[in-house]
Structure 1
Amino acid sequence: MRELGEKPPDGAVVADGYLLPLADGVADVTFSSNVLEHVADPQTFLSELARVTRPGGLIYVSFTNWLSPWGGHEWAPWHYFGAERARARYRRRTGKPAKHTLGENLFAVHIGPTLRQVRARDDVTLVTARSRYWPFLPEAVVKAPGIREVATWNLLLILRRCPP
């Protein structure tokens, strides 16, 4: 909450992403930016976004994948050498503890498994999967297994809600 400032904007809904206080199918578009890597169960989180999105509506989800240069967030790129080592380095360098802890409020989310899980769902269809920050060949990078895990940095998924 403290990151939202003193008061969230009027009309903002601040809630648990697993249990949104919204009726089924009330949103034309749902939007999640850089949240998926912070939830322990990404598929349940996506299910809740799908639940509140009307059939035919769009779901915009972007996340920083673990193997990207920014996967370790404030302790990146040192996360390549291990999360605890990277956290310790951050503390030594800044004199304060890291905001994120792997397995508590930061999770190692990967592109390949996430794409397979999304494609296997029956409540959404994949409109596009692309690198959010690459202006050149954004969809091509995501189609290259292995390379995509490092080169994508931030994956953008646009999903369409299927009829029930």
Structure 2
Amino acid sequence: MSVTDLFAGQATLARSVRLLGEFRFEQTDPPRFYGALADDTVALVTALWTALHGVGPGGRTLLDVGGGPGYFATAFECAGLEYVGVEPDVSEMHAGPARDRGTGSFVRASGMALPFADDSVDVCLSSNVAEHVRDPWQMGREMLRVTRPGGLVVLSYTVWLGPFGGHEMGMTHYLGGARAAERYTRKHGRRPKNDYGSSLFAVSAADGLQWAASTGMLVAAFPRYHPRWAWWMTRTPLLREFLISNLVLVLQPT
């Protein structure tokens, strides 16, 4: 069985349409958006782990790098995993309800230097974070370091030239990141939260695939929100940069 076979069965057009519909609530109703994304991420991690190990990940420890306010905590703990979230921004850590419910554990730290021992977690996840750090592959190396041999690393990020690369700046990022940020500032009277050059960077699909292949631990790569029949895009240079909105890199430490 391929590592992606179980999840491929869930990657339907209906799922893609449903998730796309939830994206419009990211700014106005974060619990709704992140709740839907959390459930889908649990399904992704569960399918990948089961394909690799033949059993579900219940009872395992999951480290969520850049977990923000912890919207994923409840979903993963309901699935039977021990959740640990890492977030460097204290305001982000307190922006959601998970901590108020006492769900999961949270550590204030940078993904560039994770304060965990080598081989200390079973699953290491980073969802939509790599495009927000200056050296995403240093973060990737840290994720591999703290994950036990035979475990699972899932690094998913927004591709810069894809349709959502500009985040709240919309499609104006095709004018150039700095220009898009200035345009947003003039229109809204404030800098974008995802500000090009400081909290948003241009990360390509090719960058991630090259780094992952260089580790010798890459077991799968596919577009996160596309239906299974569109996964061929990952194998097509240039086209993938524009048509893949979010790339998933799946690695298994040795």
Give the TM-score, by structure 2 length.
0.59
CA distance in 1, matches of 2:180, 2:188: 12
1:129 matched to 2:218? The reply is: no
Q: What is the CA-CA distance between 1:20 and the residue it aligns to?
A: 1.1
Runs of 4+ in 1 over 3 A off after TM superposition: 6-10
CA distance in 2, matches of 1:13, 1:23: 14
- SS of aligned partner of 2:248: strand
CA distance in 2, matches of 1:25, 1:68: 34
RMSD: 1.7
Matches for 1:65-144 after TM superposition, within 5 Å:
65-122=159-216, 125-144=217-236
1:152 matched to 2:231? The reply is: no
Q: What is the CA-CA distance between 1:92 and the residue it aligns to?
A: 2.9
Alignment check: 8 A CA contact 2:212 2:249 kept = no
- Which residue pairs with 2:118 in the alignment? 24
Shift in CA distance, 36/137, structure 1 to aligned 2, threshold 3 Å: same
- SS of aligned partner of 1:161: coil
* Unpaired stretches in structure 2, ≥5 consecutive residues: 1-89
Shift in CA distance, 138/157, structure 1 to aligned 2, threshold 3 Å: farther
CA distance in 2, matches of 1:127, 1:80: 32
> 1 or 2 for the larger relative contact order (CA 8 Å, sep ≥6)?
1
* Amino acid paired to 1:131: P
The structure whose residues are more often strand, as a share, is 1
In the alignment of these two chains, the number of paired residues is: 160
- Which residue pairs with 2:9 in the alignment? none
- Which residue pairs with 1:51 in the alignment? 145
Give CA-to-partner distance per residue, 1:34-64, whole Å, 9 cap, x none. Answer: 1111111122111100000001110011000
Alignment check: 8 A CA contact 1:65 1:71 kept = yes
Higher mean C-alpha displacement, 104-113 vs 88-97: 88-97
CA distance in 1, matches of 2:245, 2:193: 20
Give the TM-score, by structure 1 length.
0.89
Give CA-to-partner distance per residue, 1:81-120, whole Å, 9 cap, x none. Answer: 1122211221233232212332222111001122112101
* Unpaired stretches in structure 1, ≥5 consecutive residues: none
Q: What is the CA-CA distance between 1:138 and the residue it aligns to?
A: 4.3
CA distance in 2, matches of 1:96, 1:42: 26
* Amino acid paired to 1:140: W
